Amino acid sequence: MRLRVLFLLCLFPLLAVSAPLPVPDQGPALRIQGSNTIGAELGPALVQGMMEQQGLQAVHGEPGDGTNEQRVVGKTRQGKTVTIEIAAHGSSTGFSALKKSTADLAASSRPIKDSELVDLEPLGDLKSPDAEQVIAIDGLAIILNPQNPLNTLDTEQLAQIFNGDISTWEALGGIGGPIHLYARDDQSGTYDTFKELVLRLRGKPLDPSAKRFESSEQLSDAVSQDPQGIGFIGLPYVRQAKAVAIVDGDSQAMLPLNSLIATEDYPLSRRLFFYRPPSGHNPWAKALVDFTQSSKGQALVAANGFIAQQVQAMDVVPRASMPGEYQAIAREAQRLTVNFRFEEGSASLDNKARQDLQRVVAYIKRHGKLQKQVTLVGFGDVKNDPQRAALLSKLRAMAVRRELVKSGVVLREIHGFGAQMPVAANTADEGRIKNRRVEVWVY
């Protein structure tokens, strides 16, 4: 009987139970610092889910030592206590903590800056696929008091409003007198994202009269109670306020809808990240990253009000402003809730696109669409020669095709629509990068 058991273990090694993660004799098993957007609720929910998956019992949250700090605590079957600490003081603080070795994992609601990348070089390449993990998609909502009649603003107006150049609601065609500004604090990734997407591109600093908040919830509630208020906030924190539709350049006016944020078409969409240093060997950090990218982890992302990276098919209503061929595709096929984008100045897929390839292939196989039931549609930014723009957009689609073919996908068609249907202004690198995208359609 013993020989039979040994034989079965050799034949089916994958059935063996993985060893439990080591529990430190003192101190936390994992320290996470950074984004308040992640750390307020999403981070603790993911940590709790991971700990329960690891078999810990009586998992619960406790207040930490300071404001916007908390602990998640559980017990092993042997009765040992496991603690994970989360400090949510803004994305910048996460990278500072990695440098000072006071955190094992940085949570960030913006990409790592070049200066931080250089600063943290001793820890390894934090832009490598294993280090930089996109865990969710979020959209910055521009919020007003529910009684404010305005429904649409463009990014130029936003910059002028938050810089103070536009200071009354009457200047926007509304009513209510002076505009009251509400913004996140300087440590916040939400503020960094707004500054990058709206203010910096137009060379405008934030008006010093803006009321600043470390808490997303408090900011949102303040705007919803102020008839003259306007603020920016992460998608889960709209609460009782009113979100307006946003236009960027020649894009359509877009509300922060789940489908538009999932594809990152919405002008103020953004990625949320975990950064795990390649030189770090904390197994709890790796376990959390792996759990977060799993279907269970992404379900928690959705349950906490963010956009999960689970691939779904959606109907698109053809519009007269769309190219004729694109309208024909929209009438017959469904678009997947993912866009492939590329590294800056490169034809290589970025880290999120590499993760999304696996998700798209899994969707295609699960729905039996391997044989000529998938069409790729490429877009790009404006070039002097429209034909060159169309060619480059098709070449991007072919770069995605090469990766899908490796997994046995036989494509139906590949289209390149050049600079048509922009989702962002082409006046800056950030907008041009966003316009360089590949959509996936299934029949």
What letter does residue 121 receive in the DSSP assignment?
A: G
Share of the chain above pLDDT 90, in %: 80
What is the identity of the amino acid at 344? Answer: E
> Do the Cβ atoms of 440 and 374 come closer than 8 Å?
yes
> Do the Cβ atoms of 74 and 59 come closer than 8 Å?
yes
CA distance 201 to 427: 9
CA distance 344 to 330: 29
Mean pLDDT value across residues 211-237: 95
> Do the Cβ atoms of 142 and 246 come closer than 8 Å?
yes
pTM above 0.85, yes or no: no
Cα 62 versus chain centre, distance: 27
Summarised one tens digit per residue, pLDDT across range 175-215 is 889 999 999 999 888 898 899 889 987 889 999 999 999 99
Beta-carbon neighbour count of residue 39 at 10 Å? Answer: 25
Confidence of residue 382 (pLDDT cuts 50, 70, 90): confident
Asked if pLDDT for residue 5 goes beyond 80, the answer is no
Confidence of residue 18 (pLDDT cuts 50, 70, 90): low
> Do the Cβ atoms of 392 and 380 come closer than 8 Å?
yes
Structural domains in the chain?
20-135+271-303 (3.40.190.10), 138-262 (3.40.190.10), 311-442 (3.30.1330.60)
Asked if pLDDT for residue 2 goes beyond 70, the answer is no
Summarised one tens digit per residue, pLDDT across range 352-367 is 999 999 999 999 999 9
Summarised one tens digit per residue, pLDDT across range 45-101 is 999 999 999 999 999 999 999 999 999 999 999 999 999 999 999 999 999 999 999
From residue 132, alpha-carbon distances to 111, 273, 415 in Å are 9, 7, 31
> Do the Cβ atoms of 274 and 286 come closer than 8 Å?
no
Average model confidence (pLDDT) for the chain? 92
CA distance 274 to 352: 12
